[in-house]
Structure 1
Amino acid sequence: MHAPLMMKALAAGRIILGVTSLVAPRAFATAVGVVNPSDELSYMTRVYGARAVAMGTGYLTATPHEQARWAKLSLAIDICDTTAGIGQAFQQPSSRRPVALMIVLTATYAVVGFVAARAPLKPMFPRPN
């Protein structure tokens, strides 16, 4: 897949997950395996949902030069989220399923973002010789 297209897909995914987290935080938490989402968890889910919408929208509305900055920022955030999730998995064994699902999500974003950042820029439709 073409690197800019991968990054646009990630940005769109961030917006979709973010809006879902903002609109239905308890349903989102339940979908990833949280048994009884608390009010505090709903608030934090909305906070991270707003961040995801901002990251996705920022990337999609940026100039190509600014997109590189948004991509690096998003990669750094995804690495931090994945690292925090791994630490959490060892601290609270009772919540491993939800934490594992979120680690898979954030690690996937980090890996795709890293691969896209390292991909050489090639035209999507090369000119015939």
Structure 2
Amino acid sequence: MSTEIRNQGDGYVEFWHEYHLCTLTTVRPDGSPHVVPVGVTVDAVAGIARVITRKSSKKVANILASQPGQARVAVCQVDGGRWATLEGTAEVRTHPDVVSDAVARYGSRYGRTPAPDPERVVIEITIERAMGHVDAPKPRAVNVAE
């Protein structure tokens, strides 16, 4: 298991398996951040987070514009007072087996498998830092009539 994730304590990995939309932050060539909503899957044992996307996306272009091995990114998710962020370096993977594996992982986490897309690629993030606070109680549903 990734040392960074293991050091976060009980519940951290489980939080990354719950259904939550996330954000991915990449860095544009001018140095400014580009933040977009994504689905993320985390393989804590391998220390890798994955995002499936289209190869024509801006997030892919930002990663490819970096020097090899230098594309710094972060993924984050929030649920009330619980939050988690993973930082690392990203690479774009195109091999069909890698894409199929990432799509299956996405389907497992999010309960649906996306339709086939010949433009699909995987952003694979080697996790270098994990942070967050996942021990806060889950937010309760609020009835607006209260």
Q: Establish whether TM, by shorter chain, passes 0.5.
A: no
Greater helix content: 1
Which of the pair has the greater relative contact order for Cα pairs under 8 Å at 6+ separation? 1
TM-score by length of 2: 0.24
| Rg larger for | 1
